[in-house]
Structure 1
C-alpha cells in the first residue's frame, strides 16, 4: 500500500508539471513566433516573449491576406481536413463495430480465420501499401475527391480488435435475454451493444479524428487540385518557398489554428475519452 506522504505528492506534481512544460513548450514557441515579424527569425534567435504582430498575423491568415504564401484560403484547408478527419473517424468506427459484432455473435465457417486476416493487416500500414492503393484509387477515378482522401484510410484492424474485446466482456445472458424477448440481431446491436460501447466509441473517435486530421503523405499523393488541400499539407507548402524567406509568423499562426479543432474535440469528449480508456468491465 502506498503511503500518502506529502513529499511524494509534491514529487508527483513536479514530475507532472515538468512533463507538461516539455510537451507545451513547442506549442508556446509556435504561438510566440506567430506574434512577431518574420524578420525576427532570420538571425536564428527565437524570441521567448510575445510580440506586437499577433492581431495582424491572425487577421491576414483568416482573411486571406497572405495570398503570396498560400494558394487556397485557410478556411478551405480547415474544411477539407475536417471532412477528411470526420469521414475517417466515423467510417472506421462504423465498419469496425459491425465487423466485430459479426465475428463475436455470428457463427459462420472460418470466423476466427476472418478475424485473424483482419488483424494481420496491422502489419501493412498505409506507407507500405501506398503504391497499390494509389493505383486502385486512380483507376476508380477517385483522385482529387473527398472519397479518395478518406476511403482508403477507413478500414481499421485495431478498432475491430478493440470492439471485439469489448463485446467478449459482455455477458452471454444479455444476448439470451434479448433472444427470449424476441429481439433480433439488429435490435440487440442497437439497444444493448451500442449503449454499452458508448465510452469506447468516444475514446476511439478522439484517437481516429486526430489520426485523420494529421494525415500528411496520403493527401499530398492523391490531391493535385488545390481546392482539396488539407491544412497539414498546406503548412508544408507555405514553408517551401524558393526565392524568399518563409513568412514564419503566418506559418506558425496557421499551425496554431490547425491545432485548435483536435484540441476542441479532446476537451469536449474528455470525460468519455478517459472513461473509455480505463474502463475494464461492463
Structure 2
C-alpha cells in the first residue's frame, strides 16, 4: 500500500513538473513577440531595419515614447489613448447598465409578450455591427453625432449577450428575497439597487473586463464615423501610422504606440482578475 501511494505521489510530481514546464514554454512563446515590440520601441530606426535585430532594449526609450505620446505621426498618442479610454469605458458601462435593467424587467415584471421581447433581443446576436452599419450610420449622422464621443459609444451599448447572462443569473436568485422585499415595502427599484445589483457584482466585473476590451479594440465603427483626426482611437492610429507608397515607416514610434495601446487593457484585466475569475466560475454568488 505504501509503495502504491509513493508511486502515485511520484507520478503526480512528475506530471505537475511537466505541466509547469509546458506552461512556462507557452508563456515564453506568447510573450516573445511582445518583448520584440518593446525592444524595437527602445532602439533607433537603423537598428531595426539592419539585421540582426537586437534582443536587448536600447537607449532610446524616453525619446521614442515621448515622441509617440506628445507628437505622434498624425495625432499625439496621448489624445488617441484618451479617446479609446472614453469609448471603451462608455461602451462597457452602457452595456452593463442597459443589460441589468432589461434583464431585471424580463425576470421580475409580468407584462404581455415579455418572452417575445426577450427572444427579439436575443435574436439581435445574429445582427453584428457590420450587418447594420449603414442604417446605424444614417441614424447617427441624422442626430449630428459624427466626430463625437456620443456617436462612438451610443450605437454600441446594446448587448444581447449581457442581457441573456444577467437574466440567467437573476433566475437563480431565490424568490423568497423578492417576497421579503415586497413585504418590507421596498419598491421594485429599491429591490434592484439594494439586493440584485450587489449580488451581481462578480458578474458585472467579469462582463466589464470583456466589454472594455471589446470597446478598446473597435476599429470599423470609429473609422466610419470620425473624420476629425483629433477623434481617432488608438487602434485607428496604429493603422494610420503605416505609410503608403515608398515612404519609410517610423518603426520605433509605431512599436512604442503598440506597447502603449496594450497597457490600459492589461491594467483592467490585472486589477479585476480576481472578480473576473469569480464571475466566470463561481457558482455561489
TM-score (norm 1): 0.93
Q: Could you say if the C-alpha distance between residues 18 and 189 of structure 1 is closer, same or farther in structure 2, counting changes exceeding 3 Å? A: same
Of the structure 1 ranges 76-85 and 42-51, higher mean CA displacement relative to structure 2 is found in 42-51
- Equivalence map 1:200-219=2 (5 Å): 200-219=203-222
CA distance in 2, matches of 1:187, 1:211: 31
SS in 1 for 2:235: helix
Deviation at 1:42, TM superposition (A): 2.8
Residues 1:15 and 2:22 aligned together: yes
Deviation at 1:125, TM superposition (A): 0.9
The aligned counterpart of 1:48 is 55
Deviation at 1:44, TM superposition (A): 6.5
* 2:91 aligned to which of 78, 88, 91: 88
SS in 1 for 2:103: helix
Is residue 92–residue 154 contact of structure 1 (8 Å, CA) maintained in 2? yes
Q: Could you say if the C-alpha distance between residues 44 and 225 of structure 1 is closer, same or farther in structure 2, counting changes exceeding 3 Å? A: farther
Deviation digits for residues 124-179 of structure 1, max 9, x if unmatched? 11112112211221122111110111111110001001101110111111111111
Is residue 85–residue 212 contact of structure 1 (8 Å, CA) maintained in 2? yes
The aligned counterpart of 1:103 is 106
The aligned counterpart of 1:114 is 117
CA distance in 2, matches of 1:3, 1:165: 43
* 2:255 aligned to which of 252, 256, 262: 252
Deviation at 1:180, TM superposition (A): 1.0
CA distance in 2, matches of 1:141, 1:201: 32
TM-score (norm 2): 0.92
Is residue 76–residue 227 contact of structure 1 (8 Å, CA) maintained in 2? yes
Deviation digits for residues 2-48 of structure 1, max 9, x if unmatched? 99710111122122212212322221121111112122333565432
Q: Could you say if the C-alpha distance between residues 131 and 44 of structure 1 is closer, same or farther in structure 2, counting changes exceeding 3 Å? A: farther
Of the structure 1 ranges 218-227 and 131-140, higher mean CA displacement relative to structure 2 is found in 131-140
CA distance in 1, matches of 2:222, 2:10: 52
Q: Could you say if the C-alpha distance between residues 189 and 3 of structure 1 is closer, same or farther in structure 2, counting changes exceeding 3 Å? A: farther
Deviation at 1:259, TM superposition (A): 0.8
SS in 2 for 1:131: helix
SS in 1 for 2:196: helix
Deviation at 1:51, TM superposition (A): 2.1
Structure 2 stretches of 5 or more lacking a match? 1-7
SS in 2 for 1:5: helix
CA distance in 2, matches of 1:3, 1:111: 58
**In angstroms, what is the RMSD of aligned CA positions?**
1.8
CA distance in 2, matches of 1:26, 1:114: 46
CA distance in 1, matches of 2:45, 2:233: 24
Structure 1 stretches of 5 or more lacking a match? none
Is residue 215–residue 232 contact of structure 1 (8 Å, CA) maintained in 2? yes
Residues 1:234 and 2:237 aligned together: yes
